[in-house]
Amino acid sequence: MSPVTATAPVRRLTVLYDARCPLCVHLRHWLQRQRQLVPLDLVPAGSAEARRRFPELDHAATLTEITAVGDLGQVYRETSAWIVCLWALAEYRSRAHWLTTPAGRPFARGTVLAAARYRSRVIPPCAPGAVECAAPPGGAWGPR
């Protein structure tokens, strides 16, 4: 990350979520219903759209960990991605700030680990190139 993007404000975020995961899809819809201080674009991880927007990302990794990308190329993964998503929401910005503190960070990390544990139980592991793990077709990420 360049010094400019490290200090520049985030004005828009793209959240890459696993469209095969019921929890991820539920959270996608929840994020869409919230009042956003920073607009969120929700795009299935590993999809053609994600690859077009972010060719430099490790798209296999985005299928295993939540990833958010800022409008100037800032990349947030795992716990930091959850926190920045909450930071983008009007009702949760102060909570996001608390989650970055020494007291809040373990809670944020525990939440991410619980979500990962749930995902590992409902989504079978993918072999490289497995058809059932293919990204959704082009229009699958539109509002529902």
Q: For the chain, how are helix, strand and coil distributed in percent, rounded to 5?
A: 50, 15, 40
Residue pLDDT, tens place only, 10-34: 999 999 999 988 888 999 999 999 9
**pLDDT reading at 62 higher than 80:** yes
Residue pLDDT, tens place only, 124-144: 665 555 545 554 444 343 333
Which pLDDT belongs to residue 139?
39
Which pLDDT belongs to residue 76?
96
Which pLDDT belongs to residue 138?
42
Which pLDDT belongs to residue 8?
72
Nearest CA-CA partner of 40 in 67, 21, 4: 67
- Strand partners for 15: 42, 68
pTM of the model: 0.77
Residue pLDDT, tens place only, 79-114: 999 999 999 999 999 999 999 999 998 888 888 778
